Structure 1
């Protein structure tokens, strides 16, 4: 039996409403889970503060989304200097009305190092809803005070921040988020730098992630409608005559994300590495034990070999990315 277009549209609307209800339940689940686990995280912080290498070992065992982003040149700094890491659900921690529990603040604390002057680097991710149905993270590029010749991002992070500030300063068109002119001098310089950049991008370029183009005002309007049970109609984004140049520039801005999968790394940090830090620390200890046993076994085997054997001694095994001189 053929299904009419009207029936299909009605079904899509029902599915959309059901999806929104699932999203509401997930939001409340995260909110409740945070409430009951917050005291436990506080106790955990007190205990692990006594273990100087805790967070470096945790990051050595980081989940794939994070591990793949840590380049060999990052390891000495990230794993060798980090001494504390924390995640805050800042919108609900601050009792913001209708605060979004997915919004997170990451706080990295470092020992004195040869790469940058900062002792603490923080980055916020706002979870927002757009009028066009877009949902996702919004962030602001964060500068790092690199020491001379030590910028692991090769200038990308500083340019990302400059381009973002430049974009924020451009007036909106007709009260909308669309800008009169998308690309300015800083954005153009960033685009050129990205085209010239060779090799993998440093993990520290993650601090330059921007994400979705959704303002706080737009998000508040959509959230209010969701709470009131109103249907949210996606705004018409069809290209109008004479907008060709603006749209090309908007596309250019989309391409200026220096760390495109920054939201994936943020989610992995907040929803995996942070809550499962004890598991990753234990895994690192198990690796240590396994390496020691393997090394000792190798010594015993070598002692049994006849003198004059040309066999080489077994080498000590190291953790992936181990950067603080730890041999196991």
Structure 2
């Protein structure tokens, strides 16, 4: 099979460029969908503001990519105190035609609670390209003003922010994870992550997700060079990939090291699921929550009660499981 592929005139550069064109179309679809849906989201916001616990119920029915990271203590906060959830494509708000629609902000709003002082917690995500070949979502750690003894992340979020700030202030090589030895803060963070219990970290560690440290300037430079190479190839010119060297293996090691310092590695997956699934389909998930209540009806008990009171004429409604303050049912 390998020999057949080698003998086949496959133009990998052309396939690569074509794949990029498909991606360009997908990006444009996101742009147009957001612009066209904006008035509908505004109308939805007005309606759901009148429904108590709307977003708490939506989150209760969240896809597994989100739900699996919500610990019992997290659920008590999210299901009892989440009052609003918003996703906005902030780059499109600044420039509908040129802004990258893959950049977005997730905004959580909470009622007063015993865990933290914040009423609003926001996290931004940027789609970036790095010189070492990385392409994807990056972010910055967001701290939470925890009340005394109530930090659900047990210090991980504050440590992640401290390490991130330290990396930003470090030389360029250190930012890329190429320092020969971990700093004291990094060692402390790595140790604390390794000591995390089997139950997993709190969902609120999501706000500490970084991904990779890639500046806007670096990303723009990489994109500009790539676009220039694409144009040359489309014009029939032969273009040598100047980045082809042995750095890939080194970068792989660096990526593994970076993952060891990330307090919430699946942060990009959770963010995309919120932005592309939970947010646009909120009404569907809310409806599922209502249907779930109906599914929980104990019809057998109802039938017994109905038989017992058949002669009295006092038929009682079917029993439903009660929803406790934390959102659970019993």
TM range, smaller chain:
0.7 to 0.9
1:262 alignment counterpart: 267
TM-aligned CA distance change 1:124 to 1:304, over 3 Å: same
Structure 2: distance between partners of 1:25 and 1:235: 26
1:145 alignment counterpart: 145
Kept after mapping to 2: 8 A contact 1:80/1:323: yes
Structure 2: distance between partners of 1:234 and 1:33: 37
Q: Where do 1:244-255 residues align within 5 Å?
A: 251-255=256-260
Q: Does 1:317 align with 2:321?
A: yes
Structure 1: distance between partners of 2:127 and 2:50: 33
Kept after mapping to 1: 8 A contact 2:159/2:189: yes
Structure 2: distance between partners of 1:102 and 1:108: 19
Kept after mapping to 1: 8 A contact 2:89/2:102: yes
CA-CA distance at 1:279 after TM superposition: 0.4
Q: 2:283 aligns with which of 261, 264, 278?
A: 278
Structure 2: distance between partners of 1:238 and 1:265: 32
- Tell which deviates more after alignment, 96-105 or 209-218: 96-105
CA-CA distance at 1:108 after TM superposition: 0.2
Q: Where do 1:1-328 residues align within 5 Å?
A: 2-3=3-4, 5=6, 10-95=10-95, 98-173=98-173, 177=176, 180=179, 183-199=182-198, 200-228=200-228, 229-230=230-231, 233=241, 235-236=243-244, 238=246, 251-291=256-296, 294-295=297-298, 298-302=301-305, 304=307, 317=321, 323-324=325-326
Task: Give deviations 1:142-166, integer Å, cap 9, x for gaps.
Answer: 1011111111111111101111111
Kept after mapping to 1: 8 A contact 2:177/2:258: no
| TM-score in terms of structure 2 length | 0.84
TM-aligned CA distance change 1:173 to 1:63, over 3 Å: closer
TM-aligned CA distance change 1:326 to 1:131, over 3 Å: closer
CA-CA distance at 1:178 after TM superposition: 6.0
Structure 1: distance between partners of 2:66 and 2:252: 33
CA-CA distance at 1:43 after TM superposition: 0.8
Kept after mapping to 1: 8 A contact 2:141/2:209: yes
Equivalent position SS for 1:144:
coil
TM-aligned CA distance change 1:232 to 1:220, over 3 Å: farther
Structure 1: distance between partners of 2:85 and 2:179: 40
- Note the aligned Cα RMSD (angstroms): 3.2
How many residues align? The count is 312
TM-aligned CA distance change 1:249 to 1:3, over 3 Å: closer
CA-CA distance at 1:181 after TM superposition: 5.7
Kept after mapping to 1: 8 A contact 2:259/2:265: no
Kept after mapping to 1: 8 A contact 2:138/2:213: yes
Equivalent position SS for 1:287:
helix
Equivalent position SS for 1:162:
helix
1:309 alignment counterpart: none
CA-CA distance at 1:119 after TM superposition: 0.5
- Runs of 4+ more than 6 Å apart: 246-250
Equivalent position SS for 1:84:
strand
Structure 1: distance between partners of 2:41 and 2:273: 17
Gaps of 5+ in 2: 232-238, 310-317
Gaps of 5+ in 1: 307-313
CA-CA distance at 1:49 after TM superposition: 0.8
